[in-house]
Structure 1
């Protein structure tokens, strides 16, 4: 959930000073955008993978501090809860073998994490929500010791006037009951882990790619769904979506976890301007750095979790850039599945961005948002509104149409042909079998009725490296 901060207690002067710097930095990024001062480096890709630490009984193992100390890797860091970690990969170009190098990096880091087992942690598992997770695991005692997390929790609850966070998630699988409860902190967010993809293109291409990413969110959720259970109960095919949104719910109409307020009309700086205008500052920590480093803008943006989020960084040419973080997909099931999801996304965005204005004219933002939640609820069984001759379609038929688009997009970006075939054939087979991670988990639970056996079998399959469409139930 972001970089550490130096303090977790703030004064009114802290908020005032931060607000002034945030306004200056927002003005500066607007100036750079308008005057052509942003980087034209790209396409460049990155990846973050959140994962779980588990014990010998397949329960969460809340020992990321000792685990990370033993591991000693700069590429693996702590997450909100003591039983979650985040794995990062080096930035790559998409051309040639870039995605294969990213694949190898994730596989090797996962192997190192598994070999880092000890009495306190048995192994690591990549899955949207751990089936054996218990409500008792969602407590402040499980929070990773961090000024940032402590301050986020305090400020989020302060903005609610201390009112409890109410969860109300309906069961969409036909195999359970609705889930309702309440919490006095934000720790339920720790029930969700994701695969986060980063995409940087030349500055003049980012608006189209961002809007294409929003439109694609529903098909991406449907094909990748892998979080059907919460505390062992079947709810949505991608239950991670409502859990994350409700865990950080605010009384304001402007939610901090959101699909957003609309397509970008001119550029992505609009979103940072919306951040400044609509969202109160939560972490007013001003780093000793020039405005051109955008420290305050980054920190404020880091307390807003749009499902498709713009990020600011610095490129290899020394210029600032704005890149896209696509956050809709869960962790897992296998590394091959996740790399296939990445290839599919990068390819389709490249192709769809070429005519995105025509597509979004037929699928307004409100429809794209409704599509997203329909796909989260029903996975590959969803129906969505799409562009073209048949406006109301099954998400499976949309995905069928997107596969050749992904192939063309990857080819145009110069990805090696054997990788295009490897990754997109994995998506095609998953689509043909209609067995994504969520479908496998739900079928396994229905047959065996045991979340511990489910988790054990899932972990064995994940370690085998086989894609989920080949997993036996």
Structure 2
């Protein structure tokens, strides 16, 4: 399971950036054939039962000595070399990948160490361009001019993605309309390309379980999206305006919005029912192809077309296809709702909360789904993105709307039980979940720290400088001074 094999953001470069109608027809034929093969393999019990296995991707920013975005990812990557760090959509973004791990024992600690060391190596390498690396949901010093098409990473893949996404809009501009959770003036602007997506960076967690457990885990991942966003929120500003606690959510959705049909950035259309294969069947039937690149040399069982098409659909909880060490294909979950930052410890604590809570909630998922309709889960998600730890959400088991902080208080012991069942080392359970507990107790996540710091000093450059210094200290955000 390697994240790089699955998405448009991560995949191999494509050969060209313009397509004819025949390319789309040919691709859809390949896609339909692969989708039918996937269903056949699943119905015959041929998907892998390996797991629990976990992975992680972290998007980050390159910034210069003035704390502005630094569009140098090409020279940065040329020097760095290796497969664990790759380019993102903009010239000032990169993506870091960790090796896959078993969650039992010390797996999460090894992932933690790898991510910390890679961040240090990236910062050292960036210094050669007088830059550095920062992990944060949206950069407080980002300027509107930084999102110009000139800032796109030179790649046929990104050029084609932009071209086809805009063609599907009939050339109509993309509008961002985001209100402020603090009242007052929100943000409104239009764009002629998809570069607004580059204003957002995230932490993406991968979870592979035995095939029979994946539907329950997927639905639990959806239900958990709201409290996960609330506890991890770290993107309260865009272009100098305080907007949502996790402004990354509406930016990403609106930057790739389509005028009709299902949206390409979405929570989906409903809970999974019988098997996650149904999501790939929905991809085939309901989503136009954006990148119709077929490689006739690849066997259908590699699912190259499914991966490419799925990589142009950014479900907040996304199914991914890969191949396990037993040679069998698998479907795993990519949980995409959490932002980058604030510290590596905070991000690993978020991961532990997610993995443990999914394991435990999956055991009574039918009750949870019955009591929390999909539409209510969606309302919860956006309420948490807008208001962070101040949000109120519906929850199963109790009829009244509850503070999301109260839900999180219940989730921490639930996650503890889940992590024990998964076999995580006891010291790691305590280390990571106590970090979440103290963040919750202090009500200081990344968004609240940023908002309070700016209220105190009124300077986005100082905010970014202080944030970077605290991130480098390794301390969790609840210990950061304002």
* 1:252-295 deviation per Cα after TM superposition (whole angstroms, max 9, x unaligned): 13100111100001110110000000000000001220110000
- Equivalences for 1:330-409 in 2 at 5 Å? 330-409=339-418
Are 2:477 and 1:465 equivalent residues in the alignment? no
Q: Equivalent residue for 2:189?
A: 181
**How far did 1:71 drift?**
1.0
- Separation of aligned partners in 1, 2:83 and 2:313: 25
Q: Equivalent residue for 2:148?
A: 139
* 1:378-425 deviation per Cα after TM superposition (whole angstroms, max 9, x unaligned): 000000000113431110000000000100000000000000000000
- Separation of aligned partners in 2, 1:398 and 1:33: 35
Normalised to the residue count of structure 2, the TM-score between the two structures is: 0.97
- Equivalences for 1:213-292 in 2 at 5 Å? 213-287=221-295, 288-292=297-301
* 1:344-375 deviation per Cα after TM superposition (whole angstroms, max 9, x unaligned): 00000000000001011000000001000000
Q: Is the 8 A contact 2:62 2:126 kept in 1?
A: no
Q: Identify the match of residue 443 of structure 2 among 409, 416, 434.
A: 434
Q: Equivalent residue for 1:300?
A: 309
Query: How many pairs does the alignment contain?
Result: 472
Q: Is the 8 A contact 1:461 1:471 kept in 2?
A: yes
Q: Equivalent residue for 1:150?
A: 159
Normalised to the residue count of structure 1, the TM-score between the two structures is: 0.99
Q: Is the 8 A contact 1:173 1:237 kept in 2?
A: no
Q: Equivalent residue for 1:66?
A: 75
- Separation of aligned partners in 2, 1:356 and 1:132: 42
Are 2:130 and 1:95 equivalent residues in the alignment? no
Q: Is the 8 A contact 1:76 1:86 kept in 2?
A: yes
Moved over 6 A (4+): none
Tell me which moved more, 278-287 or 118-127: 118-127
Q: Equivalent residue for 1:447?
A: 456
- Separation of aligned partners in 1, 2:79 and 2:109: 28
**How far did 1:121 drift?**
4.2
Q: Is the 8 A contact 1:347 1:407 kept in 2?
A: yes
Q: Equivalent residue for 1:120?
A: 129
**How far did 1:117 drift?**
2.9
- Equivalences for 1:293-332 in 2 at 5 Å? 293-332=302-341
Q: Give SS of 1:116's match.
A: helix
- Separation of aligned partners in 1, 2:128 and 2:294: 40
* 1:316-363 deviation per Cα after TM superposition (whole angstroms, max 9, x unaligned): 110000000000000000000000000000000000000001011000
Q: Equivalent residue for 2:115?
A: 106
Q: Equivalent residue for 1:36?
A: 45
Q: Is the 8 A contact 2:10 2:86 kept in 1?
A: no
Q: Structure 2: 5+ residue runs without aligned partners? A: 1-8
Q: Give SS of 1:131's match.
A: coil
**How far did 1:2 drift?**
2.8
Are 2:173 and 1:190 equivalent residues in the alignment? no
- Separation of aligned partners in 2, 1:325 and 1:74: 20
Q: Is the 8 A contact 1:173 1:378 kept in 2?
A: no
Are 2:183 and 1:170 equivalent residues in the alignment? no
- Separation of aligned partners in 2, 1:55 and 1:414: 42
Q: Equivalent residue for 2:6?
A: none
Q: Is the 8 A contact 1:95 1:416 kept in 2?
A: yes
Q: Give SS of 1:242's match.
A: helix
- Separation of aligned partners in 2, 1:402 and 1:127: 25
RMSD of aligned Cα (Å) = 0.8
Q: Is the 8 A contact 1:67 1:121 kept in 2?
A: no
Q: Give SS of 1:49's match.
A: strand
**How far did 1:448 drift?**
0.6
- Separation of aligned partners in 1, 2:398 and 2:171: 50
- Separation of aligned partners in 2, 1:266 and 1:366: 19
